């Protein structure tokens, strides 16, 4: 029978041994040194003023009283150093790094994780919660392929639920893309995190719509009008409107100016119908000053003329019609009307 235990090398009390308390106390001291092991640090040189029973991992290249003791545990006890050899599998709390380390047979290493983990919550540089069970705080996140490609899957329980990516600014939502409340892929934006507008929607057939794209058809009520030469007229009805197109200030010759909702490049089309004309010109004007498009009605009736143009418009610009000459205009949808669309 060996004189010491196989794992911690605790001395046995032998038969007929005198002063058994010495052996017993030595075993207790060895237990106190190794059980619930806390190591102050791994270093090459002894500290100048170690505390009683403090323990250190002796690193390669040890000097002074630790010379030749690399790989052992140095213990300051009763005014001197004693050394114990750790065994593979020993666990210790390293106070200097706040980490649990395992002795691998030649050095102290961080214990590896199992191949499969199923934690209820996981935080990487962040604190998870019941809703955000995975929380990551990092300058960037890499999802790399293992093979030919890589897919990121976001699943939802049903059509009315949400599967999306939400982009925030200072924890307030500004953009969202995905399946939000239905099965059409959409991109939504918000200026305040409360009111959301859909900028793009793609249905299951691949049809793309732009619900917030500014566009409109504007005309006056069905009937006829005879604007005086030099008169400025507008519109009374938006037969088609989306993206915030509105009618603004009243015009002296009737109707209201059309107000541009957003800055950008616009396609504009103007159609003018007349039941009678003695030579009439209609000009599409921006802010009552610059001409964007002009149409001439010769002395003939009835007749319809149309024209289109591209123009760079600014949010808040107004569009109205300026008349020259005399004519009886045929008002209403599909007769005398203006259309615009942000391109």
215-342 CATH fold:
Jelly Rolls (2.60.120)
Q: Are 234 and 250 in contact (CB under 8 A)?
A: yes
Phi and psi of 37, rounded to 5°?
A: -70, 125
162, β-bridge pairs: 180
Tokens of 271: 């159609």
Q: Are 266 and 343 in contact (CB under 8 A)?
A: yes
> Alpha helix (H) ranges present in the chain?
20-34
Question: For residue 199, with 0-12 CB atoms within 10 Å meaning exposed, 13-18 middle and 19 or more buried, which class applies?
Answer: middle
pLDDT value for 1: 58
**Residues near 273 by Cβ (< 8 Å), separated by ≥ 6?**
302, 303, 304, 329, 330, 335, 336
**Pick from 216, 231, 217: nearest CA to 329:** 231
Taking the CB of residue 140, how many other CB atoms lie within 10 A of it?
A: 4
Distance set, CA 249 to CA 246, 257, 296, 324 (Å): 10, 6, 26, 21
Q: What are the percentages of helix, strand and coil residues in the chain, rounded to 5? A: 5, 45, 50
Strands (E), 215-317: 215-219, 223-225, 232-233, 237-242, 246-250, 256-259, 264-286, 290-297, 303-313
Can you tell me the distance from the alpha carbon of 52 to that of 48, in angstroms, rounded to the nearest whole number?
Answer: 13
- Provide the residue ranges of all domains of the chain, joining segments of one domain with +: 36-109, 156-212, 215-342
Question: For residue 159, with 0-12 CB atoms within 10 Å meaning exposed, 13-18 middle and 19 or more buried, which class applies?
Answer: exposed
Residues of the chain with pLDDT below 70 are 1
Q: Are 24 and 18 in contact (CB under 8 A)?
A: no
Distance set, CA 284 to CA 161, 176, 279, 307 (Å): 47, 38, 17, 10
Give pTM, 2 decimals: 0.66
- Would strands 303-313 and 215-219 be described as parallel, antiparallel, or unpaired? unpaired
pLDDT value for 12: 83
* Residue carrying structure tokens 């019941």: 130
- Would strands 55-58 and 42-43 be described as parallel, antiparallel, or unpaired? parallel
Q: Are 317 and 189 in contact (CB under 8 A)?
A: no
pLDDT value for 96: 95
Write out pLDDT tens, residues 91-134. Answer: 999 999 999 999 999 999 999 888 898 999 999 999 999 999 99
Distance set, CA 56 to CA 8, 38, 59 (Å): 17, 9, 9
Give the SS3 label for residue 272.
strand
H or E stretch covering 261 = none
Write out pLDDT tens, residues 126-161. Answer: 999 999 999 999 999 999 999 999 999 999 999 999
């Amino acid at each position: 029978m060996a004189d010491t235990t196989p794992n911690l090398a605790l001395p046995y009390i032998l038969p007929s041994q005198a002063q058994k308390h010495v052996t017993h106390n030595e075993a207790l001291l060895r237990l106190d040194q190794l059980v619930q092991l806390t190591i102050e640090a791994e270093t090459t040189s002894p500290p100048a003023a170690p505390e009683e029973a403090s323990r250190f991992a002796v690193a390669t290249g040890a000097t002074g009283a630790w010379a030749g003791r690399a790989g052992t545990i140095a213990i300051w006890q009763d005014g001197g150093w004693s050394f114990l050899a750790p065994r593979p599998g020993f666990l210790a709390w390293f106070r200097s790094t706040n980490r649990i380390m395992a002795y691998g047979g030649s050095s102290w290493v961080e214990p590896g994780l199992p191949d499969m983990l199923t934690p209820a919550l996981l935080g990487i540089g962040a604190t998870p919660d019941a809703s955000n069970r995975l929380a990551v705080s990092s300058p960037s996140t890499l999802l790399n392929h293992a093979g030919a490609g890589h897919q990121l899957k976001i699943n939802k329980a049903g059509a009315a639920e949400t599967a999306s990516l939400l982009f925030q600014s200072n924890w307030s939502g500004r953009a969202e893309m995905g399946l939000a409340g239905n099965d059409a892929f959409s991109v939504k934006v918000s200026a305040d995190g409360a009111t959301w507008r859909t900028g793009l929607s793609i249905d299951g057939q691949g049809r793309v719509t732009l619900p917030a794209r500014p566009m409109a058809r504007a005309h006056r009520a069905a009937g006829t009008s005879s604007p005086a030469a030099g008169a400025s007229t507008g519109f009374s009805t938006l037969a088609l409107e989306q993206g915030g197109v509105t009618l603004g200030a009243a015009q002296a010759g009737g109707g209201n100016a059309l107000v541009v909702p957003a800055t950008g490049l616009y396609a504009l089309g103007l159609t003018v119908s007349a039941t009678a004309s003695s030579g009439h010109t209609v000009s599409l004007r921006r802010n009552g000053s610059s001409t964007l498009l002009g149409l001439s009605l010769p002395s003939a009736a009835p007749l319809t003329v149309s024209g289109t143009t591209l123009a760079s418009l600014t949010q808040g610009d107004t569009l109205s019609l300026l008349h020259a000459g005399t004519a009886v205009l045929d008002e209403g949808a599909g007769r005398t009307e203006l259309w615009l669309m942000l391109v």
